[in-house]
Chains A and B, each alone.
Chain A
C-alpha cells in the first residue's frame, strides 16, 4: 500500500512541522502569554498524535519519505514582530493545521477501506483535535485583528 504509507508519512511529517511552528510562534510572541501557553499546549497535542501514529506507521512502513517531503508545507521557523506579525503568524498556523486536518481525513478514508480500526481511531481523534486547534486559531485571530489592523503602532 505505497500510497497509504505515503499519507501516513505525510501525517507524521506535517504534525511535526505544525508542532515546531506552534512552538516557534509561541516563543516569538511570548509577551502575549496566552499565545505562548496555548501554542505549547497545541504543540503537545501534535506530539501526541505522532506518538499514537508511531506503532501503526511501523506496520505500514514509511518507505516513501520522498513524497511527503515534496508535499509538505514550509513551517514557520521564526515569528514575526508586533501585533500585525502575530496576526500573520496565526494565519500561517491556520494554513498548516488545515493541511494536517485534511491529511487525517484522507487517512481515515483509507483506514475504513482497510477496516483498520486502530488507524481509524487515531485518525479520527487527531482530526477532532486538529479542529480544536483551528477553532482556537480562528478565535485568537478575530480578537487580534481589529487592534492590529487599525491602531497597533
Chain B
C-alpha cells in the first residue's frame, strides 16, 4: 500500500524513446472500504488539475468512496496523482456542504427555498434590465464547470441578455495560453499532444512547475528521463524546482531570470537561433510571416544584454539556445511563471516563435503545450462563457456573428460584438462603481484568488452591486453574496470536459447531490425559464433540458470551425478512452496533433482574432490583417522588453511571487477537505533564499511579516530554494480553516500583496510582479508548515530539521504487464 503524499509520482516505469508509455493503474478507496465493497464504478475524469486524468468513481451506499485510474485512457494510462487520489471525493460528503439556498436579510445570510432565492435574482435582474439594459449584468465563472454548462451560460449571456461582461477565473489561469495561440496561429487550440513526450529529444518548461501542477504528466516525463535515450530538460524558473534538478541531471540547464524579465530572456534565445543559423529558412518561408520584423526586434538582445537584464549568465543562455537549436524534436510547455508575469502574452508567443523558426510543429515530438492551470478552462474558452464567441469565432467578423445569430435564431445585434469581451478585472471595476449592478459568480472564489484581494472583498460586500454566488460551500466569496445557491459538484451531475491537450472526457453522474443542491446546468436553465428568454420565433431561447441535449446543441455550434466536435456524442465518449478534437468525418477517432499539414487557421475569414500589438494590446484591423494576406501561414510576432510595473525599491527591496503547491488546488475548496492533503500542507508559509534570510536575521520557522504597498501577511518562513532577491508564497490560503489548524488564518492570504495590473493582450492579471519587504515578528517553534517533498523543500543545510509530511491514506498501484492500445498514439500503431 503506497503513501502517495510522500511518494508523489509513484513507481516509475521507464521506457525508451518512441515507445508507448506503460500503463499503471492507481487506486484509492476511503478508509474501511475494500475493492470488493464497491457497488459501481462510474466513468469520469479527474477535475483537480488541467491534466484531466481518466478515472472511474467508486460508489457505495449512494456515496462516492474513491477513484481508480482508467488504464485505457490516452491522457494518464491509468495513473492518478495525490490530488486526484485523495482529493476527488471526500469533499462531497463533507458536513459543511451548502444544501439550501441562502438570501441576505438584514445583513445576514439566511436559509430559504429555491423559489424565493430565484425570485429575488429575477426581480433584481429584470429591474436592472428595464432601467439600464444588459450592460448592467456581469457573469464571472470558473474553470470547473462542464462544457454543457458553459455553453448554456454563454447563450444566456450573449443571446438572452446580450451582455459582453462575461469572464471566468480562467482569466487568472489560461487566458494567456489562448491569447498566445490566437496571435501565433490565428485561433485557439493546443497544437501538440502529450504523446510528444515520447518522441522529443529536449523538453523546455517555461515558468512551469509541472511536478506540482500536473503530477501525472511529470511522471510521464520522468519515465522518459529515467529511460533509455532520455531527452534533456531545460527549466526557466526563479525557484530551484524539481524541474530544475532534473534539468541538471539530464545535461540540460536551469535558467532563473529575475522575476518580470521573461521576455528579455526569450528575445535572447530567439536571437541566438538567428545568429547561429538554427532557423529552418525554407519552412519559415512557406509557413510563416513576419520573420524580418522579428529578427529586428530581437537584435539588441545579445547574451550579454540578457545577462544584464535577467541576471542569467550569458553562457547559460547560449547553452539553452544550443539545446533548442540542435535538437530535432523539442517539446515546450508554458505555465503561470510566464502567464502571470510581466509581458505575459509576448513571452508566451515567443515560445511559439521558437518552434515556428525551427519548423518544429505538427510532427511527433515537436509540441507546444501552452498549458491550462484548470481542468475545464479549455471548455470555457471553447464555449464562450469567458466572453469569447463560441467555437473560436471572431467577434470582429460579422459573418461569424451571423452564424451564431442563425444558430440561436436571434438578431445579430443582440450578440455583443462591438468590442472584445470585458475581462474579469474590468468587470470588477465596473462592479466597484455600480456600473455593473448584478454580478453572478459560479464555482469560484475571487475574494481569495484575485489580485489585491482586500479591494475585491470590498467590491463584493458593497451595496452598489447585487452579487449571486453558486458553489458547493460557503466560501470566502459566498459569505459576501446577496444570494447563495447550492450547487451539485463533480460526480453529482453529468457532463463533458476537455483537458489541456484537447482530449474530451465524459463524466457521468455517480450519486445524487445533497438535499436541495442542483447542477449548475439546472440553475442556469431555471434562470433562463424565469427570465422568459425567447428567440425571434417566440420559442424559448434555450431548447434543451438535459446535459446530453446541451452537448448536441454545442456540437452544432462547432460545425465548420477549427474546433470541431461534430463527430462526438455521449455514446462515443462512453468508449475506453478520452478523445481529442477535432472529431469529424475526416478524423472520426479524433486528432492527436493539429497543424500536421503546416496550415494554420490564420486566414482573415477564418481566424479568431486579427491580432494585437503585443506591447500595447492595440488591435489590428480587418483591413490591416487582409493586407498581410496570411493565407494559412502562422505569425511570427515580437516585442521589446520593458521593465515590470513595480520594481524593488528601498522600502520594498524584494520581488514577490506566488504559486501553487502539489497538495492543494485553487483555494482548497476540495483539497482542504481531504485529510491526507490538508495535513500535508495545512497552513501558508513564505519562502526566502538563505542569503536573504540570513541578512534579515530570519531562521526556518520564524514568524515573518511580508508587506507590499497594498497589504501584508504574517506567516512562517521556509528558508528554501527560491533565488536570492525573490520571495515566494503559495496562493491557496484564505481565512477558511477546516480544522482550526492555522494559528493566524486571518493573515495568510497571498493576494493581499499582489497588484491590480494585467497583460495588455490576454488581460491576465499579474501575480508575480510585486515588490515587498520582509521583517521577522517573532521566533517560531519549529519548522514552517511548508512541505519538504517538492519545490518548497528547505535549502540544503536545513534538510534534517524539517520533517516529511504525515503519510497519506493507503493507495494501490499496479503496473500492467500488457500495455493497452491507444488509438491515436504514434508509438502505439498496430502493424
Contact = CB atoms under 8 A, between A and B. Distances in A.
Contacts of B760: 34, 38
Interface string B416-437: 0011101001100110011110
Contact of A151 (B133, B418, B615, B617): B133
B758 A151 contact: no
B133 A41 contact: no
A152 B419 contact: no
Interface in A99-143: 132-133, 135-139, 142-143
B135 interface: yes
Given A132-B613, A151-B136, A139 B642 contact: no
B618 interface: yes
A71 interface: no
Given A37-B757, A132-B618, A135-B619, A146 B419 contact: yes
Closest 9 CB pairs of A and B: A135-B618, A136-B618, A136-B616, A139-B619, A151-B135, A142-B419, A143-B419, A139-B618, A33-B757
Interface in B587-645: 613, 615-620, 642, 645
Given A147-B430, A150-B133, A152-B435, 9 more contacts: A34-B757, A34-B760, A37-B757, A38-B616, A138-B619, A142-B418, A143-B420, A151-B132, A151-B133
A136 B135 contact: no
A25 to B, nearest CB: 15
Contacts of A31: 429
A137 B613 CA distance: 12
B756 interface: yes
A63 to B, nearest CB: 35
Interface in B725-763: 755-758, 760
Interface of B: 132-133, 135-136, 164, 418-420, 422, 425-426, 429-430, 433-436, 613, 615-620, 642, 645, 755-758, 760
A124 B542 CA distance: 54
Contacts of A133: 616
Contacts of A132: 613, 615-616, 618
5 contacts: A31-B429, A33-B756, A139-B619, A151-B135, A153-B433
A135 B616 CA distance: 9
A153 B435 contact: yes
A151 B642 CA distance: 35
A37 B616 CA distance: 10
Contacts of A152: 433, 435
A41 B642 contact: yes
A142 B621 CA distance: 12
Interface string A38-72: 10011000000000000000000000000000000
A92 interface: no
A138 B436 CA distance: 23
A140 B615 CA distance: 14
Nearest to B757: A33
Interface residues of A, number: 25
A34 B419 contact: no
Contacts of A138: 618-619
A151 B616 CA distance: 27
Interface centre among A138, A143, A146 (most CB of B within 10 A): A143
A143 B422 CA distance: 8
Contacts of A139: 617-619
A132 B429 CA distance: 26
A41 B618 contact: no
Contacts of B425: 33
A32 interface: yes
A6 B760 CA distance: 37
A26 B642 CA distance: 17
Nearest to B132: A151
A153 B431 CA distance: 11
Contacts of B618: 132, 135-139
Nearest to B420: A143
Given A139-B617, A151-B133, A34 B758 contact: yes
Nearest to B433: A153
A41 B645 CA distance: 10
A65 B310 CA distance: 43
A41 B616 contact: yes
Given A37-B757, A153-B435, A146 B418 contact: yes
Contacts of B755: 33
Nearest to B128: A151
A146 B435 contact: no
Nearest to B432: A31
A143 B421 CA distance: 9
Contacts of B132: 150-151
A146 B430 CA distance: 12
**Most chain A beta carbons < 10 A, residue from B164, B434, B435, B755:** B435
Contacts of B429: 31-32
Q: Most chain-A Cβ atoms within 10 A of its Cβ — which of B435, B618, B645? A: B618
A135 to B, nearest CB: 3
A28 B613 CA distance: 25
A147 B436 CA distance: 9
Contacts of A37: 645, 757
B573 to A, nearest CB: 39
Contacts of B435: 83, 147, 151-153
Nearest to B613: A132
A90 to B, nearest CB: 12
B624 to A, nearest CB: 9
Contacts of A38: 616-617, 760
Contacts of B757: 33-34, 37
A135 B620 CA distance: 8
Contacts of A150: 132-133, 135
Contacts of B419: 142-143, 145-146
Nearest to B645: A37
Nearest to B136: A151
Contacts of B136: 151
A118 B539 CA distance: 67
